[in-house]
Structure 1
Amino acid sequence: MQSIIFCGIQGSGKSTFYKERFFDTHLRINLDQLRTRNREKLLLDVCLRTQMRFVVDNTNSTILERSRYIELARAAKYEIIGYFFESSTAAALARNNRRIGRFKVPEKGIFGTQKHLQVPTMKEGYDQLYRVQLLPSGSYEVHPVEEMPLD
C-alpha cells in the first residue's frame, strides 16, 4: 500500500508527472477535480479502507496540509512517499499562461502558494522523499531528498 503526496506551487508539473508516472497504478486525489474537501475525504477514506494506492495531487504547500494525509496513511500502515516539485514562480507563471479555461490559475494564487510554501522534510513522516524539477525539455529530473543542497 502506497500513499504519494505531491507538494509544489501551481504550474510546477505535478499533474503531468502524475499522468506520466502513476496514472496506471495509483488513484489521483485532486481538489481541482473533486471540488470539495468533503468529496476528497470520502475518496481518501475509500482508498484507505480498500488498501488502494493513491496520489494526493494538490499544492500541499504547508506542513499542516500534508500532515493530515501522512497521519491517515500512517495509521492505515501505508508507505508514505513525498515529491516536492521545485519551480521558480516565473517558470510556473509561464506554464500557467499556456493553460486555458478553468485550468488556468489566477496569478495571485501562484504567488500566494509560493509565499506560504514550506519545503517538506523527512521529519514530517515520509518513508521516502524526492525533489522534482521539470526541465525545459518537458522531462523530469528526480532526486532523493538527501541530494538536496543545504542552504
Structure 2
Amino acid sequence: MIIVCGLQGAGKSSWIKLYGYRYSPCIFFDAALPGARHRGKVSQIAKQFGTELWVVWIKTSLAIALQRNALRAMDERVPEKAIRSVAELFEPPTMDEGFDKIIILDYD
C-alpha cells in the first residue's frame, strides 16, 4: 500500500499516473492526508492485512500548489481556502507513523 500525500495541486494524481505502474500490484491512497491522524487509518489497515506501507510525499510549496490549481478546469479546482487549510495542517510523514518507507519528492 502506498499513501501519496501532499497539498492539493502538488501533483499526486499525476505522479500515480506516470509512475504507479512501477509498483504494481499496489493500492494507492491519493489524498492530501495532512496529518499523522489522517494517515493513521490507512496505517491500521496495512497492519491488519500484514502489508507493507509506504508514503510518497509530493512536497510542493503553497504558492506552486495554488498556481497549479488555478490552471485546472473550473470543475476540477479545489477552493483556495481548502488548500491553505491543508498547508497549515500539514505534518511531514515520519517513520513513527508505522511506514516501511518514506519517499519525498520535491515538485516545485
TM beyond 0.5: yes
| Structure 1 residue 71 corresponds to structure 2 residue 38 | no
What is the CA–CA distance in structure 2 between the aligned matches of 1:16 and 1:74, rounded to whole Å? 27
Instruction: Return the alpha-carbon distance in structure 2 between the equivalents of residues 25 and 131 of structure 1.
Output: 16
Deviation at 1:112, TM superposition (A): 0.5
Q: Report whether the alignment pairs 1:105 with 2:103.
A: no
SS in structure 1 at match of 2:57? strand
Deviates most, 9-18 or 52-61: 52-61
Q: Does 1:120 align with 2:93?
A: yes
Q: Which has more helix, going by share of residues?
A: 2
Aligned length: 108
What is the aligned partner in structure 2 of residue 7 from structure 1? 5
**Identical-residue share of aligned pairs (%):** 30
Matches within 5 A, 1:1-151: 3-23=1-21, 26=24, 53-135=26-108
Following superposition, the deviation at residue 53 of structure 1 comes to 2.1
TM (norm. structure 1) is: 0.67
Q: Which 4+ residue blocks in structure 1 deviate beyond 6 angstroms?
A: none
After superposition, what is the alpha-carbon deviation per residue over 1:50-81, rounded to whole angstroms, capped at 9, x for unaligned? xx620000001111110000111111011111
Q: Which structure ranks higher in relative contact order (CA pairs < 8 Å, sequence separation ≥ 6)?
A: 2
Shift of 1:89: 0.5
RMSD: 1.5
- Of the two, which has the highest radius of gyration? 1
Unaligned ranges ≥5, structure 1: 27-51, 136-151
Q: Matched residue of 2:15: which SS?
A: helix
